[in-house]
Structure formats: C-alpha cells, structure tokens
C-alpha cells in the first residue's frame, strides 16, 4: 500500500497541521518508508512466538521496606509556611 500526497494532506488536515508543499512531499516519502517497513513485518511468521507482556525480563527493583527512625517533628515542620505547635496548617478543602 502506498500513500499519495492527497492521503497525507488529508491526514494533516484531520490532525489540524499546517503543512507546506515541500513538507507534504517529504512526509509522503517518510510515511511510505514506514508503511513499507510495516508491510515487511507483517510478512513474518509469528505462529510459534509466544506473546510477551514486556520486551525484557522484568523483576522487582525496589528495596525491602524497612522501618527506620522517624523524622523529628521540628525538622518536619521547619519549612512549613503555616503551622501550629504540632502540625501543618492548610486551607480548608471542603466547606
């Protein structure tokens, strides 16, 4: 399947893109190259290939969750724009 300049112009209009005639010619060539490659891939026999959820082996890379010392209250509240003795003060979200 080959795309014509008119096909690419229609897609550009649908995508609300302003494309100059030079760009239209360039994009037509590029899209035709992509379409040729896709057609090449469709010709491959994938009957014996198992479907993959991911291209590479995935494993959990997170560290174990270990309980540590808590941050002292004064350190946690040190840069708060508004606070009282024990907590942050924030505007009410609901009335």
Containing structural domain, residue 21: 5-40
Say if 27 falls within a structural domain: yes
How many CB atoms are located within 10 Å of the residue 3 CB? 17
Residue 29 maps to a domain? yes
In a domain, 57, yes or no: no
Give me the chain's average pLDDT, please.
91
pLDDT, tens digit (0-9, with 9 covering 90-100), for 19-30: 999 999 999 999
In this model, does residue 63 exceed pLDDT 90? no
Q: Interhelix angle for 5-14 vs 21-42, to 10°? A: 100
CATH at 19: 1.10.20.60
In a domain, residue 36? The reply is yes
Number of domains in the chain: 1
Domain presence at residue 93: no
Region of poorest pLDDT, from 27-31, 69-73, 74-78, 91-95 = 91-95
Residue 75 has pLDDT above 80, yes or no: yes
Let me know if residue 26 belongs to a domain. yes
- 24-48: pLDDT as tens digits: 999 999 999 999 999 999 989 989 9
């Amino acid at each position: 399947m080959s795309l014509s300049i008119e096909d690419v112009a229609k897609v550009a209009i649908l995508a609300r893109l302003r494309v100059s005639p030079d760009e239209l010619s360039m994009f037509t060539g590029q899209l035709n190259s992509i379409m040729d490659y896709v057609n090449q891939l469709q010709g491959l026999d994938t009957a014996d290939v198992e479907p993959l959820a991911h291209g590479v082996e995935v494993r959990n890379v997170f560290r174990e969750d270990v309980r540590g010392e808590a941050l002292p209250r004064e350190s946690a509240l040190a840069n708060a724009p508004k606070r009282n003795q024990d907590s942050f003060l924030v505007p009410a979200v609901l009335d």
